Amino acid sequence: MRPLHIKTVALAACLAGLAALPSAAANLSKTYSYFTVGGTTLEQLEIELDTRGPQVKSTGRRHPGATQMEFSTRVTYDDKGSYCRIAKATVTVKARMILPRWRQRSKAAADVRVIWDTLAADIKRHEESHVVIARTHAREMEMELEKLRRQKTCSRLAEDAKAVNARILVKHDKAQERFDRVEGINFERRMLRLLRYRIERIDNGQLPG
């Protein structure tokens, strides 16, 4: 394959701003959907991602990938008459990842295919990481709910549970935003490292070109 030039890699870096599992953790339901992009050059792919990618409400922009998440909490209360306690708390995360699919890969030059394959893998890793963050906070929510002190009535305990949910969700949102900031800052350096690694594997016959 022909060598990759830094200028070519820099074009891929223009796609920055991508838009997050402990064992025995909270329940997770994960699905995938795809949007199709065309083009045979990096410039065309960038335009396709900018115009066809999922629109994220928090930024108001389209992104090369996104994850829609929903937290649902089920709490079982044990009413003893003189007091009420939480018997069990279960938090479920429903995650729907939206990823790009390139339909004209076979018609593109080898270096464009390598850059796309590297970028697509990084987009998927990024979105999977958002799910890891969500599931970690869901497990934290379960633990915090089950540690709540008993109250005289279940209605008062339900208010405490509601406050825990709100607090952990705010913490979760901040963690997701922090992850996106760090990923954006490190994007170009990460892409260069991943490209070098992929090229080495292609040259060693471990991956198709």
Predicted local confidence at residue 187, as pLDDT:
74
Q: What is the pLDDT of residues 138-179, one digit of tens each?
A: 999 999 999 999 999 999 999 999 999 999 999 999 999 999
Helix (H) or strand (E) holding 162: helix 154-185
Q: What is the pLDDT of residues 5-27, one digit of tens each?
A: 222 232 233 333 333 334 345 79
The residue extents of the domains of the chain are 6-203
Maximum separation of any 2 CA atoms in the chain, in Å: 77
Q: What is the pLDDT of residues 187-196, one digit of tens each?
A: 777 767 766 7
Answer whether 58's CB lies under 8 Å from 104's CB.
Answer: no
Predicted local confidence at residue 23, as pLDDT:
39
Candidates 46, 36, 37, 61; CA nearest to 8 is 46
Predicted local confidence at residue 202, as pLDDT:
61
